[in-house]
């Protein structure tokens, strides 16, 4: 579907957003409807279309977001409040993961980044980018022409967005396990699905950052993946069923592939295609054994997202493999899978302070250190920070948004001009001053949770 004509520029959108974005923030959507399907969209100027695509919510408001469990934050929870102490390469990888400009011009129209689908390194279960590449919330076909015509493989095959937690432990990579290294897999996603080739040092940084995502601790299992006394009796009964050899599986058990002592995977590819089978690229398509950790936040399940709950997933497996489980046995197996996929620390409610700390930390890359004179990094970083700050204002309660909007708007206007320039001492001095003003405004703002805006709109 055509999204309009004319030249699309984020700089024009930034200027328009300075006055339009606060109005958009006041009317949060309760369900997804693509902006280009709304009346009057084609009558807007290209800059106005661009801004609506970016600032209209792409997903339902979520009152809480998945915990961003980074290895570095385990030892220093406040690391992003003091970004000068962060390793520059790690901070660069974080920036790239959140940068709309990384995935190419079309995704940038919507303000989409890696984090849009892999929120906090997990998944965004309600992601929906339109029928061209989404058949149900949580599924995306990145090999469609929606993001770039060059990526279209001619097969409509939306896939459930996978979690990136613990990725360094669960290779090989890709659905079919065809990529030996995480770096190779990330490079292939960018080059094949988004037709973007990034600098080798940027690829190294992005890989380093993604490798930081850790599984969330779970007291119901021990270091070898066995249930502890904290798990329910029903879950313990399910553990026995999980380890039981079955003739229907060729004498194997569920645990034969989902090995408890190896992050619940055997690191191999199998022809067992769980899911309803729709959208498979080829009849014999195989899939790498996925981990069963952290599944509390990764529903819907299977490659096609056809199981909305763990109970539905167990029922589907039982039927597909003709296991002949009783209703009680299905309940016990479900209880076991929910126990090993549980998390001690659930989703967290974001705050304006946290959002500002995370966004403003990126500016340290431009102000000092080995990357401060990088002419390619300069506009990408400024645009990402501008985008993140405006989203934080959009999501904030009215009083909080009003307290910081003036400074965010001033930053947007400065970026619209400065992003065309090269890094210089004068520009760094101006940027340092704007950062100070933004931090001061954030400190004065009412300390309300960003999710309170969604709660008020959707009680």
Its pTM stands at 0.85
Q: The domain at 71-210 falls in which architecture?
A: Orthogonal Bundle (1.10)
Tell me the pLDDT tens digit for each residue of 141-166: 988 888 888 888 888 888 899 999 99
Asked whether the domain spanning 233-340 has the same topology as the one spanning 71-210, the reply is yes
Q: What is the pLDDT of residues 428-457, one digit of tens each?
A: 999 999 999 999 999 999 876 655 544 444
Mean pLDDT confidence for 68-85: 85
Q: What pLDDT does 450 receive?
A: 57
Among 66-70, 203-207, 265-269, which stretch is predicted with the lowest mean pLDDT? Answer: 66-70
Query: Out of 1.10.760.10, 3.30.2020.10, 1.10.10.10, 3.40.309.10, which CATH number does the structure's domain 233-340 have?
Result: 1.10.760.10
What are the residue boundaries of the structural domains of the chain, listed by start? 10-60+350-457, 71-210, 233-340
Q: How confident is the model at residue 270 (pLDDT cuts 50, 70, 90)?
A: confident
The confidence band for 36, taking pLDDT boundaries of 50, 70 and 90, is low
Q: What is the pLDDT of residues 210-246, one digit of tens each?
A: 999 999 999 999 999 999 999 999 999 999 999 999 9
Residue 391 banded pLDDT, cuts 50, 70, 90: confident
What distance in Å separates the CA atoms of residue 97 and residue 112, rounded to the nearest whole number? 10
52: left (phi over 0), alpha (psi -120 to 50) or beta: alpha
pLDDT of residue 49: 62
In angstroms, the CA 394 to CA 374 distance is 30
- Greater confidence (31 vs 299) lies with 299
Q: C-alpha angle with apex 278: 273 to 282, nearest 5 degrees?
A: 65
Q: Given this model, what pLDDT does residue 235 score?
A: 98
Confidence at residue 345, expressed as pLDDT on a 0 to 100 scale: 86
DSSP characters over 252-275: --HHHHS-GGGTT--S-EES---S
Can you give the C-alpha Rg of the chain in angstroms? 23
Q: pLDDT digit string (tens) for 179-220?
A: 999 999 999 999 998 999 899 999 999 999 999 999 999 999
Among all chains, which residue has been given the structure tokens 């149900």? 136
Phi/psi at 85 (nearest 5 deg)?
Answer: -90, -5
């Amino acid at each position: 579907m055509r999204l309009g004509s004319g030249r699309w520029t984020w700089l024009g959108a930034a200027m328009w957003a300075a006055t339009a974005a606060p109005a958009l923030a006041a009317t949060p959507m309760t369900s997804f409807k693509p902006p280009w399907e709304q009346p009057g969209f084609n009558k807007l100027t290209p800059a106005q279309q661009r801004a609506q695509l970016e600032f209209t919510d792409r997903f339902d408001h979520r009152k809480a977001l998945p915990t961003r469990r980074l290895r570095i934050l385990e030892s220093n929870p406040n690391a992003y409040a003091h970004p000068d102490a962060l390793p520059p390469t790690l901070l660069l990888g974080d920036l790239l993961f959140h940068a709309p400009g990384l995935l190419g011009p079309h995704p940038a129209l919507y303000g989409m980044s890696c984090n849009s689908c892999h929120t906090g390194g997990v998944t965004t279960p309600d992601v929906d980018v339109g029928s061209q590449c989404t058949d149900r919330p949580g599924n995306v076909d990145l090999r469609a022409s929606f993001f770039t015509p060059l990526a279209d493989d001619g097969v409509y095959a939306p896939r459930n967005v996978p979690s990136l937690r613990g990725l360094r432990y669960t290779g090989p990579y890709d659905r079919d396990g065809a990529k030996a290294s995480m770096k190779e897999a990330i490079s292939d996603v960018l080059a094949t699905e988004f037709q973007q080739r990034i600098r080798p040092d940027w690829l190294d940084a992005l890989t380093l950052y993604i490798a930081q995502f850790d599984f969330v601790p779970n007291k119901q299992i021990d270091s070898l993946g066995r249930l502890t006394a904290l798990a329910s009796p029903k879950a313990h009964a399910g553990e026995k069923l999980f380890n039981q050899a079955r003739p229907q599986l060729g004498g194997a058990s569920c645990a034969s592939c989902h090995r408890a002592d190896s992050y619940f995977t055997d690191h191999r590819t199998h022809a067992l295609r769980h899911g309803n089978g729709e959208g498979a690229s080829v009849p014999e398509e195989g899939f790498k054994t996925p981990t069963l950790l952290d599944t509390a936040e990764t529903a819907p399940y299977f490659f096609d997202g056809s199981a909305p709950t763990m109970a539905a997933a167990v029922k589907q497996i039982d039927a597909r493999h003709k296991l002949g489980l009783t209703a009680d046995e299905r309940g016990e197996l479900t209880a076991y899978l929910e126990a090993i996929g549980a998390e001690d620390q659930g989703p967290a409610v974001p705050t304006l302070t946290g959002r500002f700390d995370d966004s403003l930390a990126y500016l340290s890359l431009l102000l000092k250190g080995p990357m401060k004179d990088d002419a390619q990094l300069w506009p990408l970083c400024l645009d990402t920070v501008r985008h993140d700050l405006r989203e934080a204002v959009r999501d904030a309660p009215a009083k909080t948004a009003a307290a910081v909007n003036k400074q965010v708007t001033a930053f947007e206007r400065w970026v619209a001009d400065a992003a065309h320039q090269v890094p210089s001492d004068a520009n760094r001095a101006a940027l340092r001053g704007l950062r100070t003003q933004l931090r001061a405004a954030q400190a004065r703002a009412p300390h309300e949770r960003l999710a309170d805006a969604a709660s008020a709109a959707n009680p």
